[in-house]
Structure 1
Amino acid sequence: MKVIRSHEFTADRAWGALDIATMNGITTRLHWTNEPYKWHTNDGEEVFVVLSGQVEMLYKQQGEVCAELLNAGDIFYASVGTEHVAHPKGEARILVVETQGSV
């Protein structure tokens, strides 16, 4: 049993993470960042939950770049093959659920 106070979590670098759990090959990680990630496509599905801050999520749909502004409590689901990149607006804390070892 453990309790994680996500609003208190920080990392020593952008996208630093706290591993919360790995269950049946699926990882749950808490990330802290203040910088964009990189364009990528995950090996499987991804659930991306903004816990604090704002994140502009850019993704490609039929070759076109689309954008959604995600606020605390918002969830982005990336299906297999969805190319995407997260751009935080200042500091953000994000819960990511994805296949173990995914990008």
Structure 2
Amino acid sequence: MRKIEPASFVGERPWQALDIEAIEDATVPLHWTDRPYRWHVNDGPEVFVPLDGSVTMHYRRAGQEHCLVLGPGDICHAEAGDEHFAEPHGTVRILVIEKAGSP
């Protein structure tokens, strides 16, 4: 058993990950970032949980762009095939659960 203190994790580059666990075909990384990610589509579902800071999750459905603002503890679920990107507001740490090998 180990204790992880998210607030002490600081990446050397945006979206650097601290790999916490791999469970069957899923991974659980803790990401540190202060910059947006790019638009992308995953081949499996993803769950995002900001642990500190806030993030705007941009996503497209039926050609329309939408946004969700997430604060600490909020949960965002992206289905496989959802086009999306995360835009942090300052520095943020995000716990992600995703299919192993997802971009």
List, as ranges, runs of 4+ consecutive aligned residues in structure 1 with deviation greater than 4 Å. none
Give the alignment of 1:48-63 within 5 angstroms. 48-63=48-63
What's 1:95 paired with?
95
Partner of residue 13, structure 1: 13
Q: Which residue identity does 1:13 align to in structure 2?
A: R
Q: Give the share of equivalent positions with the same residue, in percent.
A: 48
What is the aligned residue count?
A: 103
Which has the larger strand fraction?
2
Q: So what's the TM-score if we normalise by structure 1?
A: 0.98
Question: Following superposition of structure 1 onto structure 2, how do residues 1-103 of structure 1 map, counting pairs within 5 Å?
Answer: 1-103=1-103
- How far, CA to CA, are the matches of 2:9 and 2:56 in structure 1? 21
TM-score normalised to the size of structure 2? Answer: 0.98
Deviation at 1:41, TM superposition (A): 0.6
Structure 1 residue ranges without an equivalent (≥5): none
Please provide the CA RMSD for this pair.
0.6
